[in-house]
């Protein structure tokens, strides 16, 4: 899946689940936790979506990284994990 398609897929999930839109205020680089758009329940939903949809397993380092907080960062994590040896192939939505 190309970056833009991947980004759109994750953005669509976020918009539908967390009830916000990406625009000039909330951008792909916005820290979604600092902005108060996702809480701990939402975080659990987000991780479940990413792991199930893209057949990946996030690591402790992924969780602790700044990347987990923004759309662009999450796209980077997903791309890296999908390219890593041992990861299953993607379930393209």
Partner 1 sequence: MMNRPGSLRLTWCRRCVLNSAVPGISFDDTGLCSICQKTPPEDTLAEQRAASRREMEDIIEKTRGARPYDCVVAFSGGKDSSYVLKTLVEIYKLSCLAVTIDNGFLSRGVVDNCKAVCGALGVDHIMFTPKTPFMTAMYRKSATSEEMHPRSAIQRASSICNSCIGVINTHMLRIALQQNIPIIAGGYIGGQLPKDTAYFRINLKANAQQRAVAVRRFVGHFGEDAADYFGLPPNAADRDVVVINPMLGLMLREDEIIETIGKFGWTRPTDTGVTSTNCRLNDLGVYIHSRRHGFHPYIFEMADQVRHGLLDREAAVAKLRALPEYAQIQWIADRLGVGHNEI
Which residues bind to partner 1, rule: CB under 8 A? 16-20, 33-34, 36-45, 48, 58, 60, 63-64, 68-69
Count CB neighbours of 62 within 10 A.
20
Q: How far is the CB of 48 from partner 1 (least distance, A)?
A: 5
CA 42, distance to chain mean position in Å, is 12
Place of tokens 């690591």: 59
Nearest Cα to Cα of residue 71 among 26, 39, 34: 26
- Shortest distance, CB of residue 57 to partner 1, whole angstroms? 12
In the three-class reduction of DSSP (H, G, I as helix; E, B as strand; rest coil), residue 26 is classed as coil
Least separation in angstroms between CB 2 and partner 1: 26
Output 24 or 40, the one with its CB closest to partner 1: 40
CB of 77 to partner 1, least distance (A): 13
Question: Cβ closer to partner 1: 2 or 66?
Answer: 66
Which residue's CB is nearer to partner 1, number 19 or number 83?
Answer: 19
> How far apart are alpha carbons 24 and 46 in whole angstroms?
22
């Amino acid at each position: 899946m190309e970056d833009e398609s991947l980004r759109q897929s994750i953005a669509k999930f976020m918009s539908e689940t967390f009830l916000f839109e990406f625009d000039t205020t909330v951008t792909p680089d916005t820290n979604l936790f600092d902005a108060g758009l996702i809480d701990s329940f939402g975080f659990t939903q987000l991780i479940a979506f990413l792991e199930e949809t893209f057949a990946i397993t996030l690591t402790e380092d992924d969780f602790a990284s700044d990347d987990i907080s923004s759309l662009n960062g999450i796209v980077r994590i997903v791309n890296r994990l999908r390219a890593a040896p041992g990861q299953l192939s993607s379930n393209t939505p």
